[in-house]
């Protein structure tokens, strides 16, 4: 029995060593702040993903490679809400490890960082998998991981890897200091792709001002399918001319109760559906008009810069007697 246990532990140790080695080949040092450097993950041979909060400057950024070389990097884009930034490294070809969406509570993981020349590692398990969240002023991020792996100084921006060395997401200390917080691959991927394409994250836009309103029992009970019985929706307080809401036929006084097949009970749920990838996609929107529900079709567009500013102001000054105002 002792020999079997020893063999099992030895095998586990060997597997973890291999996993760390695999993840470390895609972990770089990111030097873009005055104090301790941070870490980054190779996304493709010329792109590195790191934590936005570790970039204290937009220029004169360098990355330390696994072989000890140093390369210049240029900021391609950042999103403070998700704490994701992408760097381009045009002069070298880096090794990218597989990124995976396969996560489960209880899975053994390793957090890898390269705050110095050599990589460092912390062992743990995934203790929780969370749903969609949104930092103040940011777009929704589709999930997070919490682990008991210690995130040592300089680990932000580095990978969380499984026992096969596959990267499960990017670690960041911005939102948690007591234990590990990771933006998982599935949530990070659309943000990374948008940053590489556009240099910024701009939520989809429909051009409506709204406030949360309670639904009567009669109206709630008359709603179809998954919407039946929901207690609130978004009262349309205003429709901006020439916007998707105007084109869709939304009217002041309508109550939005669903978008893209998902219940809409408040502003956060509306914003959660207005992801950058929804631009140009015709979406069904369920509204209550005159006490009866009807379905319209709305096609979001890129959020104009001036609307982004209005969105921020709406959230900062939007509380009036318990009602929340916002612009979608």
Residue 174 predicted with pLDDT over 80: yes
> Would you place residue 138 in the very low, low, confident or very high pLDDT band (cuts 50, 70, 90)?
low
> What is the pairing mode between strands 61-64 and 47-51?
unpaired
* Whole-number Å distance between alpha carbons of 154 and 114: 7
Please state the domain extents for the chain.
2-198, 204-327
Higher pLDDT, 87 or 325: 87
Higher pLDDT, 140 or 8: 8
Average model confidence (pLDDT) across the chain: 88
**Active-site amino acid positions:** 53, 83, 156
Higher pLDDT, 207 or 326: 207
- Would you state the pLDDT for residue 10? 84
For residues 148-168, average pLDDT: 95
Residue 94 predicted with pLDDT over 70: yes
User: Hey, how many other C-beta atoms are within 10 angstroms of the C-beta on 19?
Assistant: 22
Residue 200 predicted with pLDDT over 90: no
Contact 49, 40 (CB under 8 A): yes
- Phi and psi based region of residue 291 (left: phi greater than 0; alpha: psi -120 to 50; beta: remaining): left
- Would you state the pLDDT for residue 177? 60
Q: Please name the residue ranges forming H helices in the chain.
A: 2-24, 185-198, 217-222, 244-248, 267-273, 305-316
For residues 60-69, average pLDDT: 96
Q: Would you identify the CATH topology of the domain 204-327?
A: Pdz3 Domain (2.30.42)
What CATH number labels 2-198?
2.40.10.120
Higher pLDDT, 3 or 20: 20
What length is written for the chain? 328
Among the ranges given (54-63, 202-211, 216-225, 251-260), the one the predictor scored with the smallest mean pLDDT: 202-211
* Whole-number Å distance between alpha carbons of 164 and 108: 10
Give residues with Cβ within 8 angstroms of 137, minimum separation 6: 80, 81, 311, 312, 315
Residue 76 predicted with pLDDT over 60: yes
Nearest to 157 by CA among 20, 263, 309, 52: 52
Residue 73 predicted with pLDDT over 50: yes
* Whole-number Å distance between alpha carbons of 297 and 307: 21
- Would you state the pLDDT for residue 1? 53
């Amino acid at each position: 029995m002792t020999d079997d246990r020893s063999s099992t532990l030895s095998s586990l140790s060997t597997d973890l060593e291999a996993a760390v080695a695999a993840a470390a080949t895609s972990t770089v040092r990111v030097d873009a702040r005055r104090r301790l450097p941070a870490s980054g993950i190779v996304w493709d041979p010329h792109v590195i993903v790191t934590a936005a909060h570790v970039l204290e400057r937009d220029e004169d950024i360098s990355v330390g490679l696994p072989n000890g070389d140093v390369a210049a990097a240029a900021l391609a884009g950042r999103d403070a809400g998700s704490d994701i930034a992408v760097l381009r490294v045009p002069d070298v070809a880096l090794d990218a490890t597989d990124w995976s969406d396969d996560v489960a509570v209880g899975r053994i993981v390793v957090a890898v960082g390269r705050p110095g020349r050599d990589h460092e590692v912390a062992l743990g398990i995934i203790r929780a998998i969370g749903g969609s969240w949104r930092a103040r002023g940011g777009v929704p991020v589709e999930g997070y991981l919490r682990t008991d792996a210690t995130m040592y100084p300089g680990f932000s921006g580095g990978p969380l890897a499984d026992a096969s060395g596959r990267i499960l997401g990017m670690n960041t200390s911005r939102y948690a200091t007591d234990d590990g917080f990771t933006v998982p691959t599935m949530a990070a991927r659309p943000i990374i792709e948008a940053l590489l394409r556009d240099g910024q994250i701009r939520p989809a836009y429909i051009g409506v001002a709204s406030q949360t309103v309670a639904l009567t029992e009669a109206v709630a009970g008359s709603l179809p399918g998954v919407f039946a019985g929901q207690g609130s929706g978004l009262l349309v307080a205003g429709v901006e001319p020439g916007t998707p809401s105007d084109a869709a036929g939304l009217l002041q006084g309508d109550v939005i109760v669903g978008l893209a097949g998902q219940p809409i009970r408040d502003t956060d749920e509306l914003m959660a559906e207005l992801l950058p990838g929804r631009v140009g996609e015709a979406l069904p929107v369920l509204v209550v008009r005159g006490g009866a529900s009807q379905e319209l079709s709305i096609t979001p567009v890129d959020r104009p810069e001036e609307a982004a500013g209005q969105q921020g102001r709406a959230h900062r000054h939007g509380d009036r007697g318990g009602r929340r105002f916002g612009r979608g």
